């Protein structure tokens, strides 16, 4: 019985670890499949950013508007809507980034802003339509926010890629003729056309054999089919017809291999025609500062180090391992379509597709010579680091500030309950009041810092046991003793 209780305890420990949808790895053959690892816990990936959203979905450099200053406020709060009493819940970090933005020009500037969210963003448990808890205000008034889902990002990439591919084909009459001849041969006489097209691409245009094979399949497939089941969109597409259209567009037969591989396929081909213009998902992810390295600030040293996360023993392993077959075995494909899908999967290069990213999009207008306050607020669960003493951590991407020609000081204020040990990856001071718009909560203490170096990421952390005690949990030693039945 004692052993069972110990196993249960290990289970609880393993549970306290983070979620990561490690979406894909090496998949070179049709059945190679991505190596998937998922495990429970908090996600270190969700990180706030302010940047101009360029049409390619990357952050753009902004030289007209100036950010006079930024007040960044982080409050470690308990979750307010707990249905079932649990003593091991992580803090819900409420993040408020308030930017004072000036338009020094004599022209009105209307700008699209992007704000990537990866994982761990808070979704209100009682909302009729589940959406991430993200709010944007300009001078105190809420502005509409679009959530460009991961699927929609893929869809936009596909749309742009197809335009590049088709333009590239059209610009080369010899190529265009060969593609047309192949696409017109529906049932018979295809092989000579396929061989002729591949020969032209490799010998005349100098393409590699694999890329040539991909274009042959592009010319062979019907991307207008709409009867194949699509990747199921998640929360952000509910009720948004435009986003749904984007997310499901330019798939056709490729729906059978899934949006991720379909997108890689088209982006890869677009890159053959326009290396700079074509943007694959990974480039967008990286441009927003996406960095898959899980890191934490050490509570004792204040230094940044790899995150430590224990997920239990083999006997109680809560980690999920799987390899995924890209090609849907139930997809209603002709023999020819199936062969094309298999050829695409075989000839696509290995990529490392990182965490799914969703983009928050909003638009703000700045009249000439004016200054406005843009406030972005969101909530996310802090993620656990299991190095003793255990901590809850939050990361914030500072790097996009470098995309602005003028970006003033960043004033950081973090509020945590008194008696909860705190650490940050930047020098800070303990105070009693916040410099930001949010007043310090009763029973809380503020820590403040000025961020001089606007590169990389900021990490803040609180001691996990202090947190649970502050939330009314029994001391860990007592809890563990009870679990162990001693």
Partner 1 sequence: MNRREFLKTAAGAGAGALALRMSGALGAGFRPAPVEPSRRKLIVIQFGGGTRCSETIDDPEQRYIPRLWREMAPRGTLFTNMRVEHRVVHPNSTGSIMTGHWEWDDLDWSRPVAHPTIFEIYRRSRGAPDTAAWAFVYASILARTGESTADGYGRAFAANVVEPPTIPRATAERMDVLMRRAAASGSPAAEMEAAAECARLARTTSVISRRGLRSEAGRGFLEDEYDRWRSGTGTTSHDAFLTDHAIACMRHFAPEVLAVDYGEIDCAHYGSWSRYVEAIRRTDELTWRIWRASEELPAYRGRTLLLVLPDHGRELDTAGGWGFIHHSDFYTNEGADEGCRRVWMLAIGPGVRGGRKIGRPVPITAAAGTGLEFLGLEASPGAAGSVLDQMA
Report whether 314 contacts 439 (CB < 8 A): no
- Residues 10-29, interacting with partner 1 (CB under 8 A): 11-12, 14-16, 19-22, 25-26, 28-29
Among 61, 180, 203, 323, which residue interacts with partner 1 (rule: CB under 8 A)?
323
What SS3 class is residue 76? strand
Rounded to the nearest 5°, which phi and psi values hold at 131?
-140, 155
**Residue 471 engages partner 1 in binding (rule: CB under 8 A):** no
One-letter-per-residue 3-state SS of 331-393: CCCCHHHHHHHHHHHHHCCCCCCCCCCEEEEEEEEECCCCEEEEEEEEEEECEEECCCCCEEE
Among 138, 163, 234, 435, which residue interacts with partner 1 (rule: CB under 8 A)?
234
Q: Omega into 442 within 30° of 0, i.e. cis? A: no
Q: Which is nearer to partner 1, 177 or 231 (CB)?
A: 231
**Residue 322 engages partner 1 in binding (rule: CB under 8 A):** yes
What SS3 class is residue 67? strand
In this structure, what token pair is assigned to residue 191?
């092989």
- Residues 41-70, interacting with partner 1 (CB under 8 A): 41-43
- Residues 178-207, interacting with partner 1 (CB under 8 A): none
Quick one: DSSP state of residue 81?
A: -
**Residue 127 engages partner 1 in binding (rule: CB under 8 A):** no
Tell me, residue by residue from 344 to 363, as one string, x for binding to partner 1 by CB under 8 A and - for no binding: --x--xx-x-x---------
- Cβ of 10: how many Cβ atoms within 10 Å? 19
**Residue 282 engages partner 1 in binding (rule: CB under 8 A):** no
Quick one: DSSP state of residue 29?
A: S
Q: Which is nearer to partner 1, 43 or 465 (CB)?
A: 43
Report whether 423 contacts 387 (CB < 8 A): no
Q: Which is nearer to partner 1, 102 or 399 (CB)?
A: 399
Among 3, 315, 442, 477, which residue interacts with partner 1 (rule: CB under 8 A)?
315
Among 109, 318, 476, 479, which residue interacts with partner 1 (rule: CB under 8 A)?
318
233 CA to centre of own chain = 15
Q: Which is nearer to partner 1, 358 or 446 (CB)?
A: 358
Among 7, 40, 205, 238, which residue interacts with partner 1 (rule: CB under 8 A)?
40
Between CA 336 and CA 193 the distance in angstroms is 15
- Among 261, 253, 246, CA closest to 183: 253
Among 55, 303, 306, 433, which residue interacts with partner 1 (rule: CB under 8 A)?
306
Burial of 181 per CB tally in 10 Å (0-12, 13-18, 19+)? middle
Burial of 68 per CB tally in 10 Å (0-12, 13-18, 19+)? middle
- Among 226, 222, 210, CA closest to 182: 222
Q: Which is nearer to partner 1, 48 or 233 (CB)?
A: 233
According to DSSP, the residues that pair with 99 across neighbouring strands are 70, 374
Among 58, 119, 411, 454, which residue interacts with partner 1 (rule: CB under 8 A)?
119
Q: Which is nearer to partner 1, 366 or 381 (CB)?
A: 381
Between CA 358 and CA 8 the distance in angstroms is 36
In the complex, least distance from residue 465 CB atom to partner 1, rounded to whole angstroms: 15
Among 35, 181, 205, 469, which residue interacts with partner 1 (rule: CB under 8 A)?
35
Among 166, 328, 371, 421, which residue interacts with partner 1 (rule: CB under 8 A)?
328
**Residue 389 engages partner 1 in binding (rule: CB under 8 A):** no
In the complex, least distance from residue 354 CB atom to partner 1, rounded to whole angstroms: 8
**Residue 293 engages partner 1 in binding (rule: CB under 8 A):** yes
In the complex, least distance from residue 293 CB atom to partner 1, rounded to whole angstroms: 4
Burial of 335 per CB tally in 10 Å (0-12, 13-18, 19+)? exposed
Q: Which is nearer to partner 1, 15 or 440 (CB)?
A: 15
Among 288, 362, 366, 381, which residue interacts with partner 1 (rule: CB under 8 A)?
381
**Residue 286 engages partner 1 in binding (rule: CB under 8 A):** no
The b-or-e profile of 161-171 (16+ CB within 10 A means b, else e) is bbebbeebbee
How many residues line the site for partner 1 (CB under 8 A)? 77
**Residue 84 engages partner 1 in binding (rule: CB under 8 A):** yes
Rounded to the nearest 5°, which phi and psi values hold at 245?
-60, -45
**Residue 486 engages partner 1 in binding (rule: CB under 8 A):** no
Q: Which stretch binds partner 1 (CB under 8 A): 188-196, 315-323, 443-451, 456-464?
A: 315-323
**Residue 231 engages partner 1 in binding (rule: CB under 8 A):** yes
**Residue 479 engages partner 1 in binding (rule: CB under 8 A):** no
**How many Cα atoms are found within 13 Å in the side-chain-facing hemisphere of 115?**
24
């Amino acid at each position: 019985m004692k052993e069972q209780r110990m196993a249960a305890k290990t289970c609880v420990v393993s549970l306290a670890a983070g979620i990561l949808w490690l979406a894909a790895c090496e998949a070179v053959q049709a059945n190679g499949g991505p190596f998937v690892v998922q495990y429970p816990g908090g996600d270190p990936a969700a990180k706030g950013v302010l940047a101009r959203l360029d049409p390619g979905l990357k952050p753009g450099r902004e030289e007209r508007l100036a950010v006079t200053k930024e007040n960044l406020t982080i409050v470690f709060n308990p979750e307010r809507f707990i249905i079932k009493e649990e003593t091991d819940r992580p803090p819900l970090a409420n993040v408020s980034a308030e930017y004072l933005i000036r338009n020094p020009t004599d022209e009105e500037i209307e700008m699209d802003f992007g704000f990537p969210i990866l994982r761990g963003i808070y979704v209100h448990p009682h909302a009729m339509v589940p959406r991430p808890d993200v709010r944007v205000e300009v001078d105190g008034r809420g502005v509409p926010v679009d959530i460009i889902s991961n699927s929609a990002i893929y869809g936009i990439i596909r749309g742009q890629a197809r335009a590049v591919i088709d333009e590239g084909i059209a610009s080369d009459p010899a190529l265009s003729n060969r593609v047309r001849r192949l696409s017109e041969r529906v049932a018979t006489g295809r092989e000579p056309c396929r061989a002729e097209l591949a020969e032209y691409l490799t010998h005349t245009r100098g393409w590699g054999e694999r890329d040539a094979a991909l274009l042959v399949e592009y010319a062979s497939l019907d991307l207008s089919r709409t009867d194949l089941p699509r990747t199921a969109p998640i929360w952000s597409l509910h009720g948004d017809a435009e986003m749904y259209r984007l997310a499901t567009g330019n798939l056709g037969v490729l729906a059978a291999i899934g949006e991720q591989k379909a997108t890689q396929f088209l982006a890869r081909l677009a890159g053959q025609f326009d290396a700079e213009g074509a943007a694959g998902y990974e480039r967008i992810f990286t441009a927003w500062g996406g960095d898959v390295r899980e890191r934490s600030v050490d509570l004792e040293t204040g230094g940044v180090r790899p995150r430590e996360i224990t997920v239990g023993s083999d006997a109680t392993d809560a980690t999920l391992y799987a390899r995924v077959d890209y090609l849907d075995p139930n997809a209603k494909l002709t023999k020819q379509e199936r062969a094309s899908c298999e050829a695409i999967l075989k000839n696509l290069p290995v990529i490392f597709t990182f965490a799914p990213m969703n983009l928050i999009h909003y638009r703000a207008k700045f009249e000439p010579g004016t200054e406005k306050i843009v406030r972005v607020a969101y909530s996310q669960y802090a993620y656990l680091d299991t190095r003793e003493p255990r901590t809850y951590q939050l990361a914030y991407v500072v790097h996009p500030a470098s995309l602005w020609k003028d970006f003033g000081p960043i004033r950081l204020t973090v509020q945590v309950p008194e008696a909860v040990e705190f650490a940050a990856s930047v020098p800070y001071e303990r105070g009693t009041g916040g410099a930001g718009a949010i007043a310090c909560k009763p029973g809380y203490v503020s820590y403040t810092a000025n961020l001089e170096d606007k590169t990389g990421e900021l990490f803040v952390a609180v001691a996990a046991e202090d947190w649970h005690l502050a939330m009314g949990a029994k001391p860990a030693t007592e809890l563990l003793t009870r679990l162990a039945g001693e």
